[in-house]
Each structure stands twice: as C-alpha cells, then as structure tokens.
Amino acid sequence: MKQLRSIVVGVDFTPCSATALGQAVRLARGGGGAARVRAVHTIETLVLEEVAEIMPPTAVAIVDSVKADAQQAWNEFAPGVDKSGVEFLVLVGNPLAEILAQSRGADLLVLGTHGTSPESQGTGTLATRCVRKAPTPVLLVRRSQTGPFRGVVAAVDFSETSRLALEAAAEVAVGDGAALHILHVFEAPWKRLHYRSPTPEAARDFQKQYSDILARRLEGFAQDVTSRPEVARLGPKFHLVESTSHGVGAVEFIQKHGCDLACLGTRGRTNLRDVLLGSTAERIVRQAPCSILAVKPPDQQPGQGE
C-alpha cells in the first residue's frame, strides 16, 4: 500500500460505518499526510421505487427529498469524527456498483465489516463483495476499532501479493506503533500423505528439517521489509502454524494472539475479469474477529489494469 492520496469510505449511517469513517480520516491525516477522503452513501433505486408507489409526487421530488434527508443525516453522523474537509456524496443506484465505481482510482476503500446485520453472522455481504471486486485495497473495519491498531498480522504464502500485504502491514504497524506478526500457515505433507504410512516424511527429523527450512524461507521472504530501521524497531515476530486448513490456521492465530488487523492478499482475476479471494482469504474475511486489510495482486494496484 503506497502513500495514500485518495480514500473512499462507504457510509450507511450505522455505528460500524461511523468507526470506518473515523479510521479513514485517521489514516488520511496520519504521518503528516493529507489524503482526500470521499464519503459515499448510496440510496438503492428499489427503495425509491417502493416509495414512489405509495407517494404520488414526481420521482425527481422524491429523489431530492431523500437526498436532503441523507445530507441532514450526514451532518448529525459520527459526532466524534472531525469531518472537516471530507467530501460527502449521495448517489442513487446499486450500492455495490456505485461503491466500486467510486473506488476506481482511489488508493484505499474503507468499509465497516457490518451494516445492520449482527457481527455474530460474520462479515456482511456487501463488504465481502467489495473485497472480491474492488479495484483497490480494501480495509474492513470492526465497530470496536475506534483507535490505532495494536496488533497487526500479515498472512504470507510467498506470493507477490502477500509481499504487498506484508508491506502494507508493516506500514500500518509503524504508523500506529503496533506489534507486527508475520504468519505462514502450512499443511504438513506427512499428514497429507498418510495413505503411504509409514513414510520417511513422518520421521521427526524430517519434520524438524521441513519446519526449519520454512522458517528460514519466511524470514528471507520478509527481509526487505523487516530490515528497514523503522520496521526492525518494532521487533517483528515470525510464526509458523501447522493446520489442516490455511484459513482455519490463520483465524485461530488471530484469535489466540488478539490481533486487531489482518493483512492479506486476494488471489487475482478470473478470465471473466472478476476477482477471486481464494478459500483462505474468504475464510479470514468472513470469520476473523478483527479488521481486515485486503491487498490486490500487483497488476490490480491503483493506476494499473482496469
């Protein structure tokens, strides 16, 4: 995640989106920066059509009235957030399509993890779809995350996208003075090859050698980031976690260590020009009890690709 110049934040006037707005403003003004923040509220077309069926006034009058109500709601929204300089935009249409359109060219899209649905149901549908389809990095913010992040974990699978996620995690950790965890979850080959049992891979010496090699590979992969003085001062910690599922292992790690931000990479595009999360990222986005920063593959970074 490069220097932020433009941030788009989705607003639905729920408490979670108020927290998201607060984080967007904090990130925009942190480190002496002055990124532009645009808050976007979308009124669904279907809602206006339902209102028009009951109320005879013209469609234009209804739209104007609803927009005026939204502006009033914005004026009263998130009283604890300094909204000076924040552009507020009211749109009519499909919320997903409008947010995606507004996020093109931005450096970061910020959303609450939930709208009106309870957190116990997992990350909301709109937030998950934005992670999957947005052309820019997406930060999903938990309602409770009103201040700086204190524990940041970067999920590394040795891909170039996870390298970008690591860089983003380090930037946030440095800016907030947070603990930085660098995590790699692996599925033990000696368990996946159980049908060959007993196998050489099951020997304790082999298992230790395998883990040692992975640990060295993880440290080497992260060296360009962790060797930077500002990152080294944080004392980043490396973690290897064995699990039957990469997603399960990552979520369990986040829960155990109390991390409040997980940085991960999305898989990439299909031949239909869509974005796949992959099973690991999908599970983390939906089940992790923390905020999520989802980073796009190199060819989808702002200013590249679409």
Of all residues in the chain, the percent with pLDDT exceeding 70 is 80
User: Phi-psi bin for 143: left (phi > 0), alpha (psi -120 to 50), beta?
Assistant: alpha
pLDDT of residue 305: 41
Tokens of 186: 């692996």
pLDDT of residue 269: 42
The helix/strand/coil state of 1 is coil
Report yes or no: 304 and 146 within 8 Å, Cβ to Cβ. no
Distance CA 208, CA 176 (A): 36
Find, among 120, 118, 138, 119, the residue nearest to 128 by Cα: 138
pTM: 0.87
Tokens of 241: 């976690």
Give the pLDDT confidence of 155-164 residue by residue, as tens digits: 999 989 999 9
pLDDT of residue 288: 86
pLDDT of residue 290: 94
Point out the residues of the chain with pLDDT beneath 50: 195, 268-276, 304-306
Report yes or no: 19 and 26 within 8 Å, Cβ to Cβ. no
Give the pLDDT confidence of 63-75 residue by residue, as tens digits: 788 889 999 999 9
100-130: buried (b, 16+ CB within 10 Å) or exposed (e) per residue? bebbeebbbbbbbbbbebeeeebbbebbbeb
Report yes or no: 106 and 27 within 8 Å, Cβ to Cβ. no
Tokens of 125: 């549908």
DSSP string, 127-155: HHHHHHH-SS-EEEE-TT--S--SEEEEE
Give the pLDDT confidence of 174-213 residue by residue, as tens digits: 999 999 999 999 887 766 655 455 555 567 787 888 889 9
pLDDT of residue 44: 83
Distance CA 285, CA 271 (A): 23
